Amino acid sequence: MAEETQILVKFVTKLPAHLKVPETPVAVPTSLKRYGLSQIINHLLALDPPRPFDFLADGELIRKSLEQHLLGHNLSAESTLEVEYVPAVVPPQQKSSTPHDDWVSSVDASRAASSLSASASSTSSSGPIVSGSYDGLVRLWNGELQCTATVSAHEGGVNCVRFLPQSQGDLLLTSGKDRTVKLWRVEGGAGSSGGGGGGGDGGAGPGCHLLATYRGHKDSVEHLAASPSGRRFASCGWDGRLMVWETGRSVAAAAAEAEAADGGAAAEGSKKKRRVGANGANGHGAAAAAVGGGGGVTVSEATSELTGHLHCVSAVTWPTEESLYSGGWDHSVRRWDVASGVAADTYNGSKAVLCLATHGSAPALVAFGCSDRALRLWDTRSRPGAESLAVTAHGSHGNWVSAVAFCPASQHHLATAGYDGAVKLWDLRTQVPLGSLTGHKDKVLCVSWLGGGGGAAAGGGGSAAGRGLVSGGSDCQLRLYENEGALAGAQ
């Protein structure tokens, strides 16, 4: 019987000292896969109970045998292979779910702490989970998916809900099929857990206070993204428009001034109406008119508009102050220079782009989902004219990829949602998903990670970052998935 081929492997890691093994190369059979390598690490560390590990070689997760890896990279078994080991990522399990009266179209869990996190017991450190639904309501939830507030936000359905970065306070943006974007203050601070209730006139129900309404789109506003500073946001929609607006504390201050003026006018028995200025980042004024009844201000002029898409602009993400990305039904993904309003790079595909995301620690890498069931990655650092060569495709979903979100604790990990009813967890260093989260009975429309501090492109995050996911869909369910370990150690 032929002797089994062996290779010298040097195990390295970025884990703490008590999880480091000697870096002296050891001979192992080339037939070993991830499980066999994990057994070796557990033996060398004398771990009890054993822990699962993943392994990286040449920048890729090992998913086949070492022999197949060597053949795939044209490497010799006579060389020493350096292998990095990291904690294996175990897909979270469903913890709870709660019904809505209509499809759950959007969710933002970036302010929420996992119930498994040590900080979750402190209400001051954990903010609400926010969901938007086609019934026009925005709902706030605690970590147990108990509704703490209901806000009548939009006529005809809510398309997107997004917290501004924490530097701007407890401010929330929503958009809807009524062609508007609205800015709200979440009352009671990030840890607000007041009793639920219905929204009153103007949508200012318990838990939220309307500060501003942005008008400029001529059709449904599909998606929103805040700049890293939170002083601006971008909106896009079915009218094919991509617009940049001022927001944050400056608009909140204008709303407070208008509300005070409105209250004074009411006391005098008049209907005085003032216009207040809100300066955009490029020097153009965004007109804001005070409206009565606690309705905040109306912003009717965007600071700029980025033109180029030929159809519905379905998704936008804003990873750096200088540039943002958009995707649309014209099959393109575009990187925009915000100051000039010019598309610096464009990827032209063959299918509609439904969603996209970036990570704050790697803003040049764009993940986007399409109507051909594929998750794609575009490295925009590629040379001009080679965009198609810089895009890789990952296939696993059985239908359209409707949502994508990077884990705030790791630039290598993201989640996707699809019309096939699946939520999938990915490590971008391998072509196949780490696992699928079950539970939804119909199309999944949205997904968001716990923690991260607000903003779809946020990087880092607190102790809750990466400990779980929240998803919603056309089965009218909001579902919470959690596990005991964050992904921070898996980078």
DSSP string, 299-363: E---SEE----SS-EEEEE--SSSEEEEEETTSEEEEEETTTTEEEEEEE-SS-EEEEEEETTEE
Shared domain check, 199 and 132: yes
pLDDT confidence of residue 465: 62
Q: What is the CATH number of the domain that holds 138?
A: 2.130.10.10
| 298 within domain boundaries | no
**CB contact at 8 A, 353 and 333:** yes
Domain match, 321 and 453 both: yes
Residue 131, CB-side half-sphere exposure with 13 Å CA sphere: 34
Q: Give the pLDDT of residue 139.
A: 96
Non-local (6+) Cβ contacts of 405 within 8 A are 357, 414, 415, 447, 448, 449, 456, 469
In a domain, 221, yes or no: no
* Distance, CA of 291 to CA of 213 (rounded, Å): 10
**One domain for residues 423 and 452:** yes
pLDDT computed for residue 291 by the predictor:
37
Domain identity same for 449 and 357: yes
- What letters, b where the CB count within 10 A reaches 16 and e where it falls short, cover 7-27? bebebebebeeebebeeeeee
| Domain annotation covers residue 262 | no
> What pLDDT sits at residue 486?
52
Instruction: Tell me which residues of the chain have a pLDDT lower than 50.
Output: 1, 118-124, 190-206, 270-293, 456, 460-463, 488-489
Of 87, 117, 143, which residue sits at a domain end? 87
> pLDDT for 326-359, tens place per residue?
999 999 999 999 999 999 999 999 999 999 999 9
Model's pTM, two decimal places? 0.85
Residue 162 lies in a domain: yes
Structural domain count, the chain: 2
Domain span holding position 338: 93-211+309-490
In the prediction, which pLDDT does 191 show? 45
Asked, for residue 439, whether it belongs to a domain, the answer is yes
Same domain, 76 and 175: no
In this structure, are 21 and 169 located in the same domain? no
Domain boundary among 38, 61, 87: 87
Residues 49 and 140 in one domain: no
User: Do 438 and 321 belong to one domain?
Assistant: yes
- Residue 33 sits in a domain whose CATH number is 3.10.20.90
Q: Are 343 and 376 in contact (CB under 8 A)?
A: no
pLDDT of residue 451: 87
- Regarding whether 361 and 452 lie in a shared domain, the answer is yes
pLDDT of residue 39: 97
Residue 228 lies in a domain: no
Question: Do residues 97 and 82 both lie within one domain?
Answer: no
Domain boundary among 28, 63, 87: 87
Q: Is residue 136 located within the same domain as residue 162?
A: yes
Composition of the chain by helix, strand, coil, percent to 5? 10, 40, 45
Q: Is the four-CA dihedral 391, 396, 400, 405 of positive or negative sign?
A: negative
Indicate if 337 and 452 belong to the same structural domain. yes
Note the pLDDT of residue 445.
98
The answer to whether residue 55 is domain-embedded is yes
Return the pLDDT at 395.
87
Distance CA 173, CA 182 (A): 6
Eight-class DSSP state of 125:
T
Residue 428 within a domain? yes
